[in-house]
Amino acid sequence: MDINDLKSYFESIFNTSSANPYFSPGRINLIGEHTDYNGGFVLPCAITFGTFGLIRKRQDKKIRLYSLNFKEVGLIQLDLLHLEYNKNHSWANYVKGMIKYMSYKNLNINLGFDILVYGNIPNGAGLSSSASLEMLIGTMLKEEFSLNVDKKTVALTGKRVENEYIGVNSGIMDQFAVAFGKKNSAIMLDCNTLYYEYVDMDLKDNIIVIMNTNKRRELADSKYNERKSQCEKALLKLQSVIKINNLCDLTLEEFNKYKYVIKNPIEEKRALHAISENERTKKATELLKGNDLKSFGVLMNQSHLSLRDNYEVTGKELDILAESSWNQRGCLGARMTGAGFGGCAIAIVSKKDLDDFVENVSNHYKKVIGYDASFYVASIGEGSTKIN
Ligand code: GLA
C-alpha cells in the first residue's frame, strides 16, 4: 500500500480528495527495558515500519475517522466537543485522547477533520503501534492547526493519553522514540530529565533482525501496571533509608547496601532489574559510541536474562527466540524488546549469516512453540513527520 492507494481510499471513504499525508514510525528498544518509569536511561530507535495517515480539515466541528487496519470497526463519527473514551471505538480511542488533550491548551483546534490511517506495524507486537498512532495524530494537529508546541510536548501528551485516557501506566520511551526518531541513529534518553542524545548506529556488516513471537500482547491486560507498582513499593521502602526520587537514582552498589529494607523478595528482584538494567544501558551507550558491537551484544543478552529472571516479563516464546538466537553463528546479541509478555525480540546478526540464522531460529521456535514466528529486518528511520 502506498500513498496513492491511500489517497484513493480517502476519496472513496470521505468523498473528497486533497488530504495531507503524514507518517509516524514504530520503535524498537536496543536496551533499557522497564527503566523509563523508574527514572532511568533507554536506548530506542524509530523503525521504518509505522503508521500512515491522511487528514483533511473540515468547515464544521465533525470528526470522521477510518482505519484500514480495523475495517470491521467502520467509520467513526464524532464531534470535536465530545471526545469521551468509548470501548467500542477501539483503535480510535488513541486518536480521541490525543485530540482531547491537545485541544485543552490549543484553542485554535476549532474545526473538525477527516482522518484515514493505515499501519504496517503488526498490532500488539510490542513495536509501539499505539505510540505511533498517537504521535501521528499529534503531528497532524500541530501542523494542520499551526500549533505552537514542541515535539517533547506532543510526546508527553501521548504518554498522558496512555496513562489517563487508556489506563496503562507506561513511561515516556515509546512516544519519545517515535517523535524524535532519526535515520540510522539510536536515541539515548534520560527519562528522568528528558535529556537526550543521538548515537550513530554503525552496524558495519551486521543488521538488526526483529523476531515476532506472534503471541499477542495487550499492554492494558498485562502485568505491566503490576510491575510498575512493585517498583514503586520497593522505592518507597528504599526512600526510608536514602534520599532518592527514582529507583534508577541508585547505583547497583548503593542498592546492595540498602536493599535489606525491602523485605519482599519479589519487589527486591524487580528493583534489582531496574537498577542493573539502567547501568547496562549507560554502559551499552558508551560501547555503541565506541563501535564495540560485540560487547554491546553481551549486554543485550544480560538484559534479557534479567528480564527473564528478575522482572519475569519474557515468557516461553520470547525466551525461545532469544536463547535460540544466542546459539547461532553470527549473532552478536539478542533480547526481548518493549514491554514483554509476548511481542518481539531483536537480534544483531552478521549479514552473511542472516539466512541460516532465520532458518534455524524459525525451525526451533516452530518445533517448541507449535506455530511460526515472523522475522523482519529493521531499518532505522525518522520520527513522525508530514510527507511531501
Ligand atoms: C512499554 C511502555 C514503555 C516502556 C516499555 C518497557 O513499551 O510503553 O513506556 O516501559 O514497555 O521498557
Predicted confidence (pLDDT) per residue in 318-331, tens digit? 999 999 999 999 99
The class level of CATH for 206-378 reads: alpha beta
174 lines ligand 1 (CB under 6 A): yes
Question: 33 CA distance to ligand 1 centroid (A)?
Answer: 7
CA neighbor of 172 nearest in space, from 143, 134, 198:
134
Q: How far is the CA of 336 from the centre of ligand 1 (A)?
A: 12
- Could you say which residues of the chain have pLDDT below 70? 216-221
Domain with CATH 3.30.230.10 in the chain: 3-201
- pLDDT per position as a tens digit, 339-352: 999 999 999 999 99
Give the per-residue pLDDT at 220: 45
Active site residues: 174
Count of beta carbons in the 10 Å neighbourhood of residue 366: 13
State if residue 171 touches ligand 1 by the CB under 6 angstroms criterion: yes
Which residue has the least CA distance to atom 1 on ligand 1?
Answer: 339
Residue ranges of the chain that CATH labels 3.30.70.890: 206-378
Going from the Cα of 36 to the center of ligand 1, the distance in angstroms, rounded, reads 7
> DSSP string of 58-95?
-SSSEEEEEETT-GGG--EEEETTB----GGGTTHHHH
pLDDT reported for residue 125: 86
In one-letter notation, the amino acid at residue 177 is A
State the pLDDT at residue 218. Answer: 56
Q: Say whether 204 sits in a helix, a strand or coil.
A: coil
pLDDT for 221:
59
Q: In terms of Cα–Cα distance, which of 128, 111, 157 is closest to 50?
A: 128
157 lines ligand 1 (CB under 6 A): no
Mutational pocket test of ligand 1: of 129, 173, 281, the residue with most ligand atoms within 8 Å of the beta carbon: 173
C-alpha cell at 234: 520497593
Residue 129 exposed, middle or buried by CB count within 10 Å (0-12, 13-18, 19+): buried
Q: What is the topology classification, in CATH, of domain 3-201?
A: Ribosomal Protein S5; domain 2 (3.30.230)
C-alpha cell at 177: 522514540
